[in-house]
Amino acid sequence: MILLILHTGIRISDAVVMKPERIKHGKLLIYTQETETPVWCPVPQNVIDALKVCDGGDPYYFWSGQGTTKTMITEWQERMKKACAIAGIQGGHFHRLRDTFSVRLLEKGCRSKRRRYYWATPSKSARSITRRG
């Protein structure tokens, strides 16, 4: 899950309910939480390979489908806190990975306008995260 969020910037709630069919041709289709805007986000091959290892035949990569999504999100947040504590990282949480993803987009020349599409801007068609070029 850490690799997925770090390289796509998706929310933990989106990661928990992510189904394998959301990835096509090396891109992840998500709908932004606030506006339900469809967005295609490139996924590096190493993340796709790691997700294949996580695929245990359940409908989702990180949730069996049993129980509530809220409970599963809380469980993953607790796992992240424990992993950060073991690694000596104070205040570690999943949103830091989203922050890092955003900074990496800026470093690679992604325009702020494109980043806004990914996080909240309404649209009638799927947007794509792209580099300036």
SS (H, E, C) the chain: CHHHHHHHCCCHHHHHCCCHHHEECCEEEEECCCCCCEEEEECCHHHHHHHHHHCCCCCCCCCCCCCCHHHHHHHHHHHHHHHHHHHCCCCCCHHHHHHHHHHHHHHCCCCHHHHHHHHCCCCCCCEECCCCC
N-terminal to C-terminal alpha carbon distance within the chain: 30
Q: Which two three-digit tokens encode residue 92?
A: 């570690």
Output the average pLDDT for the chain: 80
pLDDT of residue 132: 41
Q: Can you tell me the mean pLDDT for 39-44?
A: 88
Cβ contacts of 109 within 8 Å, gap of 6 or more? 131, 132, 133
> pTM for the complete prediction?
0.74
Q: What is the rounded CA–CA span in Å between residue 80 and residue 93?
A: 6
Of 19-28, 66-75, 100-109, give the lowest mean pLDDT range.
Answer: 100-109
pLDDT at 47 over 60: yes
Contact 68, 8 (CB under 8 A): no
Query: How would residue 112 be classed by pLDDT, with cut points 50, 70 and 90?
Result: low
How much of the chain exceeds pLDDT 90, in percent?
25
* pLDDT tens-digit readout, 71-85: 999 998 999 899 988
Q: Superfamily assignment of 2-128 in CATH?
A: Intergrase catalytic core (1.10.443.10)
Contact 4, 51 (CB under 8 A): yes
What residues does each domain of the chain span? Answer: 2-128
